[in-house]
Copies of this chain bind each other. A is one copy, B any other.
Amino acid sequence: MALYSERGYAQTTVAEIAERAGLTERTFFRYFADKREVLFWGAGALADLLVETVAAAPEGVAPIDAVAAALDAAGELLAERREGARGRAAIIAENTELQERELIKLASLAAALAATLRERGVREPAASLAAETGIAVFKIAFERWIDEANQQDLSRLIEDSFDELRAVTAER
């Protein structure tokens, strides 16, 4: 990722990334489908953490609380990585294809969360609504977190966004 920041994403080749990482190109492609995927390397681990946390929530916990617990776990996982997250966001912001990939990853996270809630017996549309609004909360909190002007923790911003969401929806 450092290479993308130094030279620009479009100008960096897989050969250069592999060299910097001390890998052959062949080994690179064993781990990543393409150079875009380098930026989404942690997405699988994040998805697993979210799904496992929702699946492990005590029986009877409200769907939105199970989702909030999962996002809180994600907040802790990411807590020490603010600088990296900022660099990554700056690269993504300059490339439409990467923005698309990011949207797809977020949509997959929401779909995985909704499926896990359904396995816990949550009916539709409640499962999808809890999952989609949870991901919306996460996305908005994450954008505030990587804003240079912001000093708050990601977990705190997620909690704030949930409070704000409840206030926003209660108005209707």
- Which one, B63, B103, B124, contacts A104 given CB within 8 A? B103
Q: Report the separation of the CA atoms of residues A144 and B128 in the bound assembly, to the nearest whole angstrom.
A: 11
Secondary structure dominating the interface of A: helix
Least Cβ–Cβ distance between A135 and chain B, in angstroms: 8
The residues in A between 120 and 136 inclusive whose CB is less than 8 angstroms from any CB of B are: 124-126, 128-130, 132-133, 136
Cβ < 8 Å to B, chain A residues 42-77: 62-65, 68
Contact with B along A134-172 (1 / 0, CB 8 A): 001101110010000000000000001110111111111
| A125–B161 CB distance below 8 A | yes
Interface string of A98-126 (1 = CB under 8 A from B): 01100110010000000000000000111
CB distance from A64 to the nearest CB of B (A): 5
Contact yes or no, A139 B130, CB < 8 A: no
| Residues B129 and A172 in contact, CB atoms below 8 Å apart | no
Selected contact of A125 from candidates B130, B164, B166, CB within 8 Å? B164
Determine if A129 and B137 form an interchain contact, defined as CB atoms under 8 angstroms apart: yes
- B169 x A133 contact (CB < 8 A): yes
For the complex, what is the distance from the CA of A168 to the CA of B113, rounded to whole Å?
A: 15
Contact of A107 among B62, B103, B129, B169 (CB under 8 A): B103
Residues of B close to A100: CB separation below 8 A:
100, 103-104
